[in-house]
Chains A and B, each alone.
Chain A
Amino acid sequence: AQRVTQPEKLLSVFKGAPVELKCNYSYSGSPELFWYVQYSRQRLQLLLRHISRESIKGFTADLNKGETSFHLKKPFAQEEDSAMYYCAPPGGSYIPTFGRGTSLIVHP
């Protein structure tokens, strides 16, 4: 079964500091990985998927097959980045399988 581990329940940084939200996965096939974000009082939304190699709101995520990781990074955190972040490798039929999430708090 596909599993994801987000080791940090809470990550607290100051504005302007670099951010790295960790995600490790177990997946038997070629992974299609996603990061979802949930801002306060908003619905869960797709942030980015690795295959698109895009940068959304300054965030990037690199797939490291050797380490089975898909860490989310941003060089300079902003207060508006404070949210709950979920790493979501796919389950069967590419259904997102969510970890417990990491709460990112960016202090002014």
Chain B
Amino acid sequence: DAGVTQSPTHLIKTRGQQVTLRCSPKSGHDTVSWYQQALGQGPQFIFQYYEEEERQRGNFPDRFSGHQFPNYSSELNVNALLLGDSALYLCASKTWTVYGYTFGSGTRLTVV
């Protein structure tokens, strides 16, 4: 089982650009959440997807959007990138009815 896989692993973008990050959940998982982890901080919840709908959202602006596909994979889109968006973006998956997430290794986004 490959667990949660994220792509790409590293990404460099210019301020003002748009970026798409991708996540494949662990086999059997149907719920995906995205987190932003700035250097030296704990992961901050962005949003959660289940049944292709956004179910919960953290305190992030509308520049952050997402999508979940019928195969449960997910994308995180960030528009109009700011320098402050530089962080490690984590995808986590689980089965809707159980607790405890399985995390991916993350995508390191650097905005210059």
**Which A residues fall within an 8 A CB radius of B?**
32, 34, 36, 42-46, 49, 51, 86, 90-101
Please determine whether A93 and B56 come into contact, CB atoms closer than 8 angstroms. yes
10 further contact pairs, Cβ within 8 A, besides A49-B100, A100-B42: A32-B99, A34-B100, A42-B105, A43-B4, A44-B43, A46-B100, A46-B101, A92-B56, A95-B45, A95-B48
> Which of these, B44, B99, B103, B106, contacts A94 with CB under 8 Å?
B99
On whether A101 and B42 interact (CB within 8 A), knowing A44-B103, A95-B33, A95-B56, the answer reads yes
How many Å from the CB of A72 to the closest CB on chain B?
15
Tally the A-B contacts, defined by beta carbons under 8 Å: 53
Residues in A neighbouring B55, C-beta threshold 8 A = 93
| B25 interface contact, C-beta 8 A | no
Known: A93-B55, A95-B33, A95-B56. A86 touches B42 (CB 8 A): yes
